Structure 1
Amino acid sequence: MGALPERRPGVASPVVPVHVGIIMDGNGRWAAGRGLPRAMGHRAGAEATRRVIEAAAEAGVRWLTLFAFSSENWRRPASEVLELTGLLRHYLRHEVSQLVRDGVRLRVVGDRERFGVETAAEIERAERLTADGQRLNLNIALSYGARAEIAAAARAIAREAAAGRLDAASVDEALVERHLATRDMPDPDLIIRTSGEQRLSNFLLWQSAYAELVFTDVLWPDFDARHFTAALSEFARRERRYGGACVV
């Protein structure tokens, strides 16, 4: 990943979402359309990830969450899972130094332990080394499922109630949010999904209650700064009402 470009001073910006989530879809179809193995699609998708991180930082987005590997992806063929986890380890080992230079803080959301001791240690190392980054908060959702996240929060709250540490009547939305994996992050303002599919696929279901949704037919390996900017422009045209008056 190359160095992130500096924002140009003195240039007026449109309404920019604070937090963007992206469901990165279409690697397999991109490869199939070119007669290539799926692994080549995932590698091309990794290049698209680099481009979008740069585009997000350039646009002034403060939080970027990428849905890289869902809890359901473990059902894929073992060879494909092996390729994906290998790409993850390569990224963690070889890209972190650039993230540090670019002021990007990396965090992983999901069941990291399922990837094994070696990969979990690489994740912890990357998070530690990038902890001081202040330009962009980059969250990677790995072995993540929103329903499982909400269920885990419910179990934690139930344990506290059973232990007498809280009154069940005090459980509200704020309490649930404090038990989610994203508890110290703002909710996403914008969710982008590539490849033409128009669903959330168990991604940030609680957090996306009022997010704007943008769907594009572009396959993830072809997604670049132009497409990201187009999604931000679409977001800027939306009127965000939150069930009430328009929020400008």
Structure 2
Amino acid sequence: MSKGVSASRPGPRHVAFIMDGNGRWAEQRGRPRLLGHRAGARRVREIVESCPELGVEYVTIFAFSTENWKRTQAEVSGLMTLFRRYIESEAQTLLKQGTRVRFIGDRLRLDKKLRGLMDMIEALTAHNVRCHLTIALNYGGRDEVARATKRLARDVADGKLDPDAITDETLPRYLDTHVLPDPDLVIRTSGEARISNFLLWQSAYAEYEFVDTLWPDFTRAKFEEVLDRYGSRDRRFGGVKA
């Protein structure tokens, strides 16, 4: 299908990616792991560019987790440099493509220059509506829920929120993703079948696809194959057909 979805069912509005396998892709070629991360960044460009044509309005990518600080200092430093260069090199392209960029995660541990670049590209693309790209940077699902709970607790303590009025619709207003729809589809590359602390609250009813392809090899064609499979799924959200 040209749109990458079933003709009889709508495709996902929001797709989230756990972009796994960059390091292994490089190691399989006898190259440094950072080379794989650079190849992965180029793949991000292709996938994001394809989203509007495939009917995907929102795309969220897991770029760096709260657990990734455990990697070697050289790899972490290289990744931070890569993030800065990605923003600097892609900002004008994303602006012209009509892509709005947002970041989620705890920014406090990130260096000042990177935080400034994040603020810059968010402001630069703030009026774009063709595609919404969210980058999870220093992000962890449990950390996000903990930070959201602290903000909610402060509002209760300040008398701004009645504890008895709290429902399952209250906490999402305090999450990093409060302006985004929940993901319809979460794709993890590289053959690993776990969610790795990614969008824990938001993905309660998301469909999951675990594909063997390493992220740098995850082409638009492979993306369309996953979207086709999504189109064949019966999403009941806990209900049954009448």
The TM-score bracket by the shorter chain reads: over 0.9
TM-score by length of 2: 0.95
SS for the counterpart of 2:198 is coil
What do residues 105-151 of structure 1 show as CA deviations (whole Å, max 9, x unaligned)?
Answer: 00111112322111100000000111111100000000000001111
Distance in 2 (CA, whole Å) between partners of 1:90 and 1:235 is: 34
User: Which residue number corresponds to residue 26 of structure 1?
Assistant: 21
1:145 maps to a residue whose letter is G
SS for the counterpart of 2:240 is coil
1:80-95 to 2 correspondence within 5 Å?
A: 80-95=75-90
Within the alignment, does 1:217 sit opposite 2:216 as a pair?
no
Q: How many residues align?
A: 238
Distance in 2 (CA, whole Å) between partners of 1:246 and 1:109 is: 36
Residue pair 2:155, 2:161 contacting (<8 A) in 1 also: yes
- Shift, 1:246, TM fit: 4.8
TM-score by length of 1: 0.92
- Shift, 1:15, TM fit: 2.0
User: Which residue number corresponds to residue 3 of structure 1?
Assistant: none
Within the alignment, does 1:163 sit opposite 2:158 as a pair?
yes
Structure 1 residues 229 and 246 mapped into 2: Cα distance closer, same or farther (>3 Å)? farther
Which of 182, 185, 194 is 2:189 aligned to? 194
Which of 84, 100, 107 is 2:102 aligned to? 107
SS for the counterpart of 1:174 is coil
Q: Percent identity?
A: 48
Which of 63, 75, 78 is 2:58 aligned to? 63
User: Which residue number corresponds to residue 146 of structure 2?
Assistant: 151
Residue pair 2:9, 2:232 contacting (<8 A) in 1 also: no
Structure 1 residues 221 and 13 mapped into 2: Cα distance closer, same or farther (>3 Å)? farther
SS for the counterpart of 1:186 is coil
CA RMSD of aligned residues (A): 1.6
Distance in 2 (CA, whole Å) between partners of 1:139 and 1:47 is: 16
- Shift, 1:78, TM fit: 0.7
Distance in 2 (CA, whole Å) between partners of 1:203 and 1:196 is: 16
Which of 199, 205, 211 is 2:200 aligned to? 205
User: Which residue number corresponds to residue 124 of structure 1?
Assistant: 119
SS for the counterpart of 1:173 is coil
Residue pair 1:65, 1:141 contacting (<8 A) in 2 also: yes
- Shift, 1:153, TM fit: 1.3
Higher normalized contact order (CA 8 Å, seq sep 6+, divided by chain length): 2
User: Which residue number corresponds to residue 234 of structure 1?
Assistant: 229
User: Which residue number corresponds to residue 180 of structure 1?
Assistant: 175
Distance in 2 (CA, whole Å) between partners of 1:15 and 1:131 is: 27
Distance in 2 (CA, whole Å) between partners of 1:53 and 1:110 is: 20
- Any unmatched runs of 5+ in structure 1? 1-6
User: Which residue number corresponds to residue 50 of structure 1?
Assistant: 45
Residue pair 1:240, 1:246 contacting (<8 A) in 2 also: no
1:182 maps to a residue whose letter is T
